[in-house]
Amino acid sequence: MKALYVSVISLMTLLGSVVTAEDTKNAVKIMQNVYDRPTGKDMSGTLTMTLKNSRGDLRIRSIKQSIKSEKAIEKKLMFFTAPADVRNTSFMSWSYSEPGKNDDQWIYLPALKRIKRISSSGSGDYFMGSDFTYDDLGDRQPNEDTHKIIGKETVDGKKCIIVESKSVNQGYMYSRTITWVIDSVWIGLKKEFYDEQGELLKTLQVKEYKQINGYWTVLNTEMYNAQKDHTTIMKLADVKFDTGISDDLFSERTMQRGL
């Protein structure tokens, strides 16, 4: 419950773009276009995360969230509505485009009735027991990895370019990732994550996406951890873009009061 980088906008950034870029002939440019995909000035929605273990047991987490993007800063506020033991907990983060500047993050714990500033380190931790790490859900900049086109493939009837990415930093949690980016639509339809030993760890698949207010929006994704036989299904609903969310929303007041 600390560096909750989760944001569907960020997830969308990771997965897709509406760039009609015939000139994206190399992998770096493809991933940069994915990263630069328009996501609106603000977004709000309800996120439901279903955790399924190998026995089929389900655990469900529900979150209301609002996001506002400005030139150099993106503000996110998440308000947990289920399960009962985390209800009314809220999380706020301010992310900066300035290289090297860490996120500012706060968490409100209703039992303590206090807002705590927290450190944004630990991006390799898993978010709320799911199969997504904070890093999986965050804004990973293209220049943090090297990229290589390793092939083309048709997935679910859609032509995809396959891009392999490796971190430029030693010690990153994944030795490499492989992303199937839909040609001409530029949505990452599938992504494989390999562990530090080079073994397949997780597979992310987009199950549903559509345009809302002109923005490509992924509404249903599934992350399968092959080593743990564990799955996380993430669904986004009640999505609204560009409603003019005030900057005042991202404040101590809303964290305590809720969205």
Partner 1 sequence: MNCVRMSLALIYVVVLGTTTFAAELPVLSGYVRNYTGVIASKNPDFAILQNTVNLSLEYRKDKVGLKINPWLYHYPKTELEIGLREAYLDMFLNSLDIRIGKQQIMWGKGEGVFITDIISPKDMREFLLPDFEEIRIGVNALKMNLFRGKHNFELVLLPQFVPTILPDEGSIWRPKISFPLRPTIDSTKIDVPLLVENGEVFGKYSLMTSVADIDVLGGYTWDDDPTMHIRKTMNPQTQTLAAIEITPRHHRLIVAGTAFSTVVGDFVIRSEGAWYRGKYFSTLDMSDADGVVEKDYINYLVGTDFNLWEIKFSAQYIQKAILDYSEAISDPQFENMVTFLARRDFLRETLTLDFFTYIGIDESDALLKPRVQYAFADGFELQLGANIFVGDSGRFGIYDKNDMLYLKAKFAF
**Which residues in this chain contact partner 1 in the complex, by CB under 8 A?**
2, 51, 57, 59-60, 83-85, 87, 94, 102, 104, 106, 111-122, 125-126, 128-130, 230, 247-248, 251-253, 257-258
Instruction: Report helix, strand or coil for 35.
Output: helix
For the bound state, the minimum distance from the C-beta of residue 201 to partner 1, rounded and expressed in Å, comes to 15
Instruction: Measure Cα distances from 214 to 39, 68, 127, 259 in Å.
Output: 9, 17, 29, 25
Q: Mutual orientation of helices 27-35 and 8-15 as an angle, nearest 10°?
A: 160
Nearest distance from C-beta of residue 254 to partner 1, angstroms = 10
Q: Rounded to an integer, what distance in angstroms lies between the CA atom of residue 78 and that of residue 259? A: 8
Minimum CB distance to partner 1 smaller for 60 or for 150:
60
The helix (run of H) or strand (run of E) holding residue 28 is: helix 27-35
Prior bond of 38 cis (ω within 30°): no
Instruction: Give 36 or 196: the residue with its C-beta nearer to partner 1.
Output: 196
> Quick one: 23 or 85, whose CB is closer to partner 1?
85
- Beta-strand pair 200-212/215-225: antiparallel
CA count, 13 A, side-chain hemisphere, 151: 4
DSSP 126: B
- For partner 1, give the closer residue by CB, 83 or 151: 83
Q: Which is nearer to partner 1, 36 or 247 (CB)?
A: 247
Q: How far is the CB of 82 from partner 1 (least distance, A)?
A: 8
In the complex, what is the shortest distance from the CB of residue 76 to partner 1, in angstroms, rounded to a whole number?
Answer: 14
- Report which of 246, 188, 258 is spatially closest to residue 68, judged by C-alpha positions: 246
Q: At its nearest, how many Å lie between partner 1 and the CB of residue 173? A: 12
Rounded to a whole number of angstroms, the minimum distance from the CB of residue 138 to partner 1 is 16
By beta-carbon proximity to partner 1, the closer residue of 152 and 257 is 257
Separation of first and last alpha carbons in the chain: 18
169: three-class secondary structure by DSSP: coil
Cβ proximity to partner 1, 125 vs 183, nearer residue: 125
Closest separation in Å from C-beta 67 to partner 1: 17
Q: Give the residues across from 233 on adjacent strands.
A: 50, 222
Which backbone phi and psi does 85 adopt, to 5 degrees? Answer: -75, -10
